[in-house]
């Protein structure tokens, strides 16, 4: 039977889109698809000799996600409704950025147009229109999505404007109108004209013109609802947009920048040590789709040059994740995969979105893993770190928490109800995937949530209890956010992990995620060191905050009360069994959020001395010592983060250096700074390492815990001095990442600690923090010391 179809093809080897009528048979579709691939593919300015419509909202189901060709600020304030991109609040500066097209060659003309609708409920009109020439301190389209440095052109009330150039329109302005911005080059300037017209008949209602420097036009461009006004989230709606079009050779085309609906994926590979053999688990992370959208994702792998479907998985419509568990995986073969989401449109067409990557083979030689933590978004998108991970081509990636901070992307926090809070969280979390999805598509990834991931400055989980209503301030036990949101956080971070040791939830039915992964001859324990931790309100620090001890003479032994928890009884039992289980591996690693000692003396500033921080893993002392006692027989290296201060230390319980080593890795992008400056304080120490670096040796931390500090990576005392870009600031704040090479033949762990701005592959000494790299033997993790013995 003959049938007509529309086909749209984006060929970028990353994400492909195919639109087809459901009635066409497979043979005819494949014939046409082959013809399309054979045709010349136009790129850049050449592709824009005619008008292009950027949006397809007229054939999209109602939903939160506007499409992978856009970044919305913020996502949770926009909906597709009846074919319009509708802003759900009249709050200021809500905007939609184009990702696939940029204003690049300002020596060429351009046109941008859109239909606009002003809602009747809008109490204060702060305008709608365009922002263009959006620039940032670094040349990255992702960074520009959060910048407001650019030119503006729009309609506010009856005032039509380009920057400060304004004209007042006569007569009644309809609620539904069209804005058209044209740019004509004139030497080193661009002549701009903004016209408002009636979309029904094209009749002009007025125009305004201005001339700007050509360099001010280049960059991202966006549509904006409410240029100024209330920075909060008023309940009444903002503007609507549709039929957003562009033309002109000033635009460049970048189809590889599409972000969604499959945002990225994460996977693990683990020896299940059962009839299931090796188990591969992979999670596709999608943007929030609509009720009428397809609710399934497909997984295919490439075998012998052909793609084979392994199955489909339902989307969890809170977390928008789809997880596959594949037993009896061929761990010896490197296997390409692709995830497919078939977006169904209102006109009965379908677009197949693909996300591709590689499942690595199980390492047989030394296992090389990257260890990362804490990404404050002033350093977004952290390209120097992400690019180093890709160049190093690591066997495993480990993110130990704080994949986001509450201030990510601006626009505040939504704490309740649960679903809006989840959407607020997801939008911030997507910046993590946007930054690191390239290395994650080819390397197994372990990803732990920490305090900021669940919108806490610090968290003492109290076994899943709700926020303690009888205590004051944020420094108290329990979860502040709804349990439903916390569970969505756990799903987005951990659903691809190997099967958990215990599926039984804790209080409030909050999920748990502790367990292990056996990979490359190494057993990795995956631990939540805050989920069961007791809150600081159980003790009296005699200060303004439950969790801070500022008095250097305060006796912190009084804070070690019976019954206080750190890992909790369930995880303690698990760690005890894990330490003794040596099936199918010969080395172990203990993964958790933070270091089990107080290796920081100053917080916030070089003058911000604290004797004790109850957020650290140095408190409660008895629970800390028990955790280390249980870990010691494993001879595991403890890899952690959280502190924004990298350290390499060895725990002591009964005596100095009798237990496991800890590598607390640098923050990817350190926000709140910390320093370890015991020498300035005159703290007693013994047995400084042979390298004789300052602030190293055997110490008692502020809680009286024994800790041998072998290496420390303090930030400079004035990080902003001399920092011209976000990346230079991150570098000055001692940001970076760790790498660990685990050699199962030599039984050694080699730790590298790379600075933010470096090429981790060129071997330069200055790439690393002082004291690194360091190699220790497995037995040193139970106190049989060789290093500087």
pLDDT digits (tens, 9 = 90+) for 415-432: 999 999 999 999 999 999
Q: How far is CA 224 from CA 85, 155, 241, 322, 671, in A?
A: 11, 11, 9, 33, 29
pLDDT digits (tens, 9 = 90+) for 583-616: 999 999 999 999 999 999 999 999 999 999 999 9
Q: What is the DSSP letter of 199?
A: T
Rg over alpha carbons for the chain, rounded to the nearest Å, is: 28
Q: What is the 3-state secondary structure (H, E, C) of 562-594?
A: CCCCCCHHHHHHHHHHHHHCCCCCCEEEEEEEE
Position 471 scores a pLDDT of 87
pLDDT digits (tens, 9 = 90+) for 513-568: 999 999 999 999 999 999 999 999 999 999 889 999 999 999 999 999 999 999 99
pLDDT tier for residue 25 given thresholds of 50, 70 and 90: very low
Position 43 scores a pLDDT of 44
Position 14 scores a pLDDT of 40
pLDDT digits (tens, 9 = 90+) for 293-310: 999 999 999 999 999 999
Position 49 scores a pLDDT of 67
Give yes or no for residue 20 having a pLDDT over 50.
no
What is the DSSP code string of 58-106? Answer: GGS-SBS---TTEEEETGGGEEEETTEEEES---TTEEEEESSEEE--T
d(CA 283, CA 488): 13
Average pLDDT value over all residues in the chain: 94
- Residue 777's DSSP bridge partners are 748
The 10 Å CB-count burial string (b at 16+, else e) for 187-221 is eebbebbbbbbebeeeeebbbbebebebebbbbbb
- The helix (H) or strand (E) run that includes residue 626 is helix 621-631
Domains assigned to the chain: 19-41+260-359 (2.60.40.1930), 49-257 (2.60.120.200), 367-782 (3.60.21.70)
User: Nearest-CA neighbor of 117 among 72, 207, 47, 57?
Assistant: 57
Give yes or no for residue 22 having a pLDDT over 50.
no
What's the pTM value of the predicted model, to 2 decimals? 0.94
pLDDT digits (tens, 9 = 90+) for 623-672: 999 999 999 999 999 999 999 999 999 999 999 999 999 999 999 999 99
pLDDT tier for residue 787 given thresholds of 50, 70 and 90: confident
Distance of CA 84 to the CA centre of its chain: 29
Minimum mean pLDDT range among 36-40, 444-448, 516-520: 36-40
Residue 643, CA atoms < 13 Å, CB-side half-sphere: 34
- Mean pLDDT along residues 255-281: 99
pLDDT tier for residue 789 given thresholds of 50, 70 and 90: low
Position 50 scores a pLDDT of 85
User: Nearest-CA neighbor of 751 among 285, 217, 366?
Assistant: 366
Position 582 scores a pLDDT of 98
pLDDT digits (tens, 9 = 90+) for 715-754: 999 999 999 999 999 999 999 999 999 999 999 999 999 9
Pairing of strands 548-549, 204-213: unpaired
- Which residues are within 8 A (CB) of 59 and not within 5 positions of it... i.e. 6 or more apart? 83, 345, 346, 347, 349
- The helix (H) or strand (E) run that includes residue 391 is helix 383-392
Task: Report yes or no: 645 and 674 within 8 Å, Cβ to Cβ.
Answer: yes
């Amino acid at each position: 039977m003959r049938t007509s179809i529309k086909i749209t093809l984006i060929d970028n080897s990353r994400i492909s889109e195919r639109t087809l009528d459901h009635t066409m048979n497979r043979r005819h579709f494949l014939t046409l698809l082959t013809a399309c691939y054979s045709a010349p593919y136009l790129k850049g300015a050449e592709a824009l000799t005619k008008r292009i419509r950027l949006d397809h909202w007229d054939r999209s189901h109602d939903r939160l996600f506007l499409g992978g060709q856009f970044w919305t600020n913020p996502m949770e304030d926009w909906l597709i409704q009846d074919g319009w991109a509708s802003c759900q609040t009249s709050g200021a500066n809500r905007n939609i950025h184009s990702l696939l097209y940029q204003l690049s060659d300002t020596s060429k003309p351009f046109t941008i147009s859109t239909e606009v609708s002003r809602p009747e409920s809008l109490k204060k009109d702060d305008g709608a229109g365009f922002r263009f020439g959006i620039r940032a301190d670094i040349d990255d389209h992702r960074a520009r999505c959060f910048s407001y440095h650019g030119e503006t052109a729009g309609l506010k009330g009856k005032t039509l404007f380009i920057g400060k150039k304004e004209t007042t329109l006569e007569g009644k302005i309809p609620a539904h109108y069209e804005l058209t911005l044209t740019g004509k080059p004139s030497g080193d300037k661009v002549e701009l004209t903004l016209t408002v017209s009636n979309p029904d008949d094209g009749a002009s209602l007025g125009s305004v013109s201005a001339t700007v420097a050509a360099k001010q036009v280049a960059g991202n461009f966006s549509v904006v609802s409410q240029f100024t006004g209330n920075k909060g989230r008023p309940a009444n709606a903002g503007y609507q947009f549709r039929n957003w079009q562009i033309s002109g050779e000033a635009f460049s085309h970048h189809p590889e920048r599409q972000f969604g609906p499959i945002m990225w994926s994460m996977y693990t590979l683990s020896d299940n040590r059962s009839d299931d053999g090796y188990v591969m688990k992979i999670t596709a992370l999608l943007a929030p789709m609509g009720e009428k959208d397809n609710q399934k994702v497909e997984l295919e792998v490439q075998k012998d040059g052909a793609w084979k479907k392994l199955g489909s998985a339902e989307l969890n419509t809170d977390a928008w994740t789809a997880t596959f568990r594949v037993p009896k995986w061929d761990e010896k073969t490197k296997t390409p995969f692709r995830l497919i989401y078939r977006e169904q449109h209102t006109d009965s067409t379908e677009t197949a979105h693909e996300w591709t990557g590689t499942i690595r083979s199980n390492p047989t030689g030394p296992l090389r893993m990257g260890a990362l933590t804490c990404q404050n978004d002033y350093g977004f998108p952290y390209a120097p770190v992400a690019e180093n991970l890709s160049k190093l081509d690591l066997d495993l990636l480990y993110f130990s928490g704080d994949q986001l901070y509450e201030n990510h992307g601006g626009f505040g926090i939504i704490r309740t109800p649960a679903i809006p809070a989840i959407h607020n969280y997801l939008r911030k979390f997507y910046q993590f995937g946007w930054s690191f999805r390239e290395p994650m598509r080819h390397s197994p990834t372990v990803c732990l949530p920490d305090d900021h991931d669940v919108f806490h400055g610090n968290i003492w989980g109290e076994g899943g209890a709700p926020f303690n209503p009888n205590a004051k301030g944020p420094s108290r036990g329990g979860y502040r956010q709804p349990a439903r949101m916390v569970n969505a956080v756990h799903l987005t971070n951990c659903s691809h992990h190997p099967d958990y040791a215990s599926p039984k939830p804790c209080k409030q039915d909050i999920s748990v995620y502790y367990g292990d992964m056996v990979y490359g001859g190494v057993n990795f324990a995956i631990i939540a060191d805050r989920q069961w931790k007791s809150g600081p309100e159980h003790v009296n620090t005699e200060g303004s905050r439950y969790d801070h001890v500022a008095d250097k003479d305060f006796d912190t032994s009084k804070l070690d009360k019976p019954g206080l928890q750190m890992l909790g009884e369930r995880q303690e039992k698990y760690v005890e069994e894990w330490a003794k289980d040596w099936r199918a591996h010969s080395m172990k690693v203990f993964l958790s959020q933070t270091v089990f000692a107080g290796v920081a003396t100053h917080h916030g500033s070089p003058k911000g001395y604290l004797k004790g921080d109850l957020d650290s893993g140095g408190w409660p002392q008895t629970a800390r010592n028990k955790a280390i006692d249980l870990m010691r027989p494993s001879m595991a290296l403890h890899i952690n983060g959280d502190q924004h201060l990298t350290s390499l230390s060895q725990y002591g319980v009964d005596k100095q250096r009798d237990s496991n080593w800890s590598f607390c890795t640098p923050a990817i992008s350190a926000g709140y700074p910390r320093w370890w400056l015991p020498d300035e304080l005159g703290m007693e120490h013994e047995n400084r390492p042979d390298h004789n670096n300052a602030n190293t040796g055997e110490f008692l931390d502020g809680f009286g815990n024994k800790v041998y500090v072998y290496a420390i990576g303090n930030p400079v005392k004035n990080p902003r001095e001399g920092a011209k870009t976000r990346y230079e600031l991150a570098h000055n704040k001692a940001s970076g990442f760790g790498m660990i090479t685990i050699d199962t033949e030599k039984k050694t762990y080699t730790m590298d600690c790379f600075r933010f701005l470096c090429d981790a592959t060129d071997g330069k000494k200055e790439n690393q923090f002082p004291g690194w790299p360091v190699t220790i033997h497995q037995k040193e993790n139970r106190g049989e010391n060789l290093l500087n013995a």
